[in-house]
Structure 1
Amino acid sequence: MNLPARHQLRSLVTAVAVTLTLALAGIAGCEGQQDPGPPSVREKLRESHIDGQPVLRIGVSAEDPENGAFVDFEREIAKYIAKNLGYEGADIEYHPLNTEERITALQSGQVDLVISSFSMTEEREKDVLFAGPYFVTTQEVLVPRKLKDRVRTIEDLRDPQLKVCSSGGSTTEDELKERGIQPRLVMNVSDCVRGMRAGKYDVVSSDKAILAGFLSLYPEEFEIVDMPFGTTEKLGVGVPIGDPALRDLVAYFLGKSHEQGRKTGNSPWLTAYQTTLGRWLEADLPQPPPHDVPDLVDFDDKAPTR
């Protein structure tokens, strides 16, 4: 073989080797760029502000312990979420909050979560993050049994002789005023109920779930009247606006319970509802599907350790 032929062969072998090397490097690069998959629950916990905290602080209704079944229901939901975040028993602090204190308590860092009849609205989403809903309800009224025939419609509520009570800073207050009804405003719905029992007010308007809680305490005194307000209240778990990781975790655990209930007919949510509010509302009410549930990897069903 002459020199030019050898040179051509050597060049060809070199080109093939270079091409093979580049191809292998490309394959390795593609393998390195493969989708790592969804994050795990533990990874999300490390991203959240509660990572390493010895105590989980949950804002709850200041109605407690005066609202029977509804407070019991929300407490059970709070315990379920806390357990999945790795907190049980003495590791959980409950902070009673009035309606107007909920957003401030999250913004100031007083609490880590709020589970307190917190309606998910666009206006509030400017200040807090929501996971949920964990309950969907409607606005109704609670009246003494002696007035059940007098108070049947929204038009009846416009009677200036009728003293309608509601909590200030609530979506109920806004709805009443939009309907031309001027309510007497107090700090908490429990103040309305105490006032109605004392003859100070004639009607209490709030979420049906909250009213059912008071009905569970005074079943012989009051009655819930369904009103065609047309407003559906989606109650969610409030999370600080700067902690999307914690929001995702709460949404994931609510979604996990929802899927369990849908597939098996039993779940932590259904147990909580049926043993509390289900005695006073629809017994077979299903858990509402939570919004924007993230895809996370849950290694096991045990509470993550801190």
Structure 2
Amino acid sequence: MKVFKTGAVAAAVVALALTATACGGSSTSGKAEGGETGGAKKDKVVIGIKFDQPGVGLKTPEGTFTGFDVDVATYVAKELGYQPDQIEFKQAISAQRETLIANGDVKFIVASYSITDKRKEKVDFAGPYFLAHQDLLVRADESTITKAEDLNKKKLCSVTGSTSAQNVKKTLAPEADLLELQGYSECLTGLENKTVDALTTDNSILAGFAAQEKNKGKFKLTGLSLSNENYGIGLKKGDKELQTKINAALKKMASDGAWEAAVTKNFGPAGYKSEPAPQITEGS
């Protein structure tokens, strides 16, 4: 009798397993591209941002993230179905942004990423979502730098891979002594220590640095508009579906007041006056 009972139990187990398989009971089957799991919670999404740009994209000593780009990225991720606790922010250094996208290390990048024809050869953009202008940050007591040409024979700092550095060196002040570093914080230290005479990048980024409590009264923007910088969200080339979804999220953010609220929160303390939310042009 023991042998008979054991065989019956084994047969019943096999029958139950076959029934479960026939019903499609696998916990991993049906997982959609992009992290969707058939009605279940989505997986995390990895988004590239800057870690060293106060007011734009900053990782604090406590490990939290703040800035306008962070708010935009969080809003877009929400519209794609991700909650804040499902977002992993990854540092996107200027010179590495295209590589991060091409390698699939990030889903998309929101990192003061100016849309240019050269970059569009390697990646696609959604947006633009912000219009900035290149400017100069100098020491508060600086009086000899009032226009771009004044940078000739002076020490200028910017970040490797940025459009701002190339714009100055090629067209605005070809005789400037250009120093390119990995981050704007290093440039700011040089400006404070008088090893460089000016820092150049977008006025939104410069305003963020100038507005920091530790920097108040030390620096000033010259108020120049040396270029137009349309910030876009970078994504893998050819991903039209994601591009369309992000564009829809950006339009919604501008229309429901969230975009203006993010501008006020992140740039207001510096008295920075932003342009209105730009019209979406990429992918149209």
TM-score over 0.5 for the alignment?
A: yes
1:153 maps to amino acid: K
From the superposition, tell whether residues 75 and 95 of structure 1 become closer, same or farther in structure 2 (CA, over 3 Å): same
More helix by share: 1
2:167 is equivalent to residue 175 of structure 1: yes
The equivalent residue for 2:6 is none
Q: Which of 237, 247, 269 in structure 2 is aligned with 1:279? A: 269
Which of 209-218 and 179-188 deviates more?
A: 179-188
Larger radius of gyration: 1
Q: Aligned runs of 1:5-84 on 2, under 5 Å?
A: 49-52=34-37, 54-63=43-52, 67-71=53-57, 72-84=67-79
1:82 maps to a residue whose letter is: A
Post-superposition Cα deviations, 1:32-74, rounded to whole Å, max 9, x if no partner, equal xxxxxxxxxxxxxx996454550110001031xxx32222111
Which secondary structure does the structure 1 equivalent of 2:157 belong to?
Answer: strand
C-alpha displacement of 1:170: 0.9
Higher relative contact order (CA 8 A, sep 6+): 1
Q: Which of 228, 251, 258 is the matching residue for 1:255? A: 251
Q: Is the 8 A contact 2:156 2:199 kept in 1?
A: yes
**Are 2:157 and 1:157 equivalent residues in the alignment?**
no
What residue number does 1:126 align with?
Answer: 121
Q: Deviation per CA, 1:178-197: give whole Å up to 9, x if none.
A: 22134111112221012212
- Counterpart AA for 1:56: V
1:227 maps to: 224
SS in 2 for 1:174: helix
Offset at residue 98 of structure 1 (A):
1.0
CA contact (8 A) 1:81 1:250 kept: yes
Work out whether residues 243 and 283 of structure 2, in 8 Å CA contact, stay in contact via their aligned partners in 1.
no
Provide closer, same or farther for how the CA distance between residues 282 and 185 of structure 1 changes in structure 2, counting only shifts above 3 A.
closer
Q: Which amino acid aligns with 1:176?
A: V
Q: From the superposition, tell whether residues 199 and 156 of structure 1 become closer, same or farther in structure 2 (CA, over 3 Å).
A: same
Aligned residue for 2:141, secondary structure, equals helix
Structure 2 distance, partners of 1:114, 1:136, is: 17
Distance of 2:33 and 2:113 partners within structure 1: 21
Task: Return the letter of the residue paired with 2:254.
Answer: H
TM superposition shift of 1:290 = 1.7
Give the TM-score, by structure 1 length: 0.72
**Matched AA of 2:241:** A
Q: Does structure 1 retain, via aligned residues, the 8 Å contact 2:135–2:223? A: yes
Contact 1:70 / 1:212 at 8 angstroms: preserved in 2?
Answer: no
Matched residues, percent identical? 27
Cα deviation, residue 245, structure 1:
0.6
Contact 1:252 1:293 in 2 (8 A): no
**In the alignment, is the contact (CA less than 8 A) between 2:128 and 2:279 conserved in 1?**
yes
Structure 1 pair 255/223, CA: closer, same or farther in 2 (3 Å)? same
Once the two structures are TM-superposed, the CA of residue 122 in structure 1 deviates from its matched residue by: 0.7
Matched to 1:70, the amino acid is V
TM-score of the superposed pair, with normalisation by structure 2: 0.78
- Distance of 1:277 and 1:47 partners within structure 2: 38
| Partner amino acid, structure 2, of 1:227 | L
CA distance in 1, matches of 2:210, 2:126: 28
Aligned to 1:241: 237
Determine the structure 1 residue equivalent to 2:186.
Answer: 191
Q: Give yes or no for contact 2:54–2:208 (8 Å, CA) kept in 1.
A: yes
Code of the residue aligned with 1:157 in structure 2: it is L
- Contact 2:56 2:69 (C-alpha < 8 Å) held by counterparts: yes
Partner of 1:143: 138
Stretches of structure 2 lacking an aligned partner (at least 5 in a row): 1-30, 58-66
Count of equivalent residues: 236
Q: Give, as a single letter, the amino acid of the residue that structure 1 aligns with 2:233.
A: V
In structure 1, what is the Cα distance between the partners aligned to 2:73 and 2:266? 14
Change (3 A) 1:284 1:141: closer
The yes-or-no answer on 1:269 pairing with 2:265 is no
User: Could you tell me how far 1:83 is from its partner in structure 2?
Assistant: 0.8
Distance in 2 (CA, whole Å) between partners of 1:98 and 1:198 is 24
| 1:97 lines up with 2:76 in the alignment | no
CA RMSD of aligned residues (A): 2.0
Q: For the structure 1 residues 51 and 177, does the alpha-carbon distance in structure 2 shift closer, same or farther, using more than 3 Å as the test?
A: farther
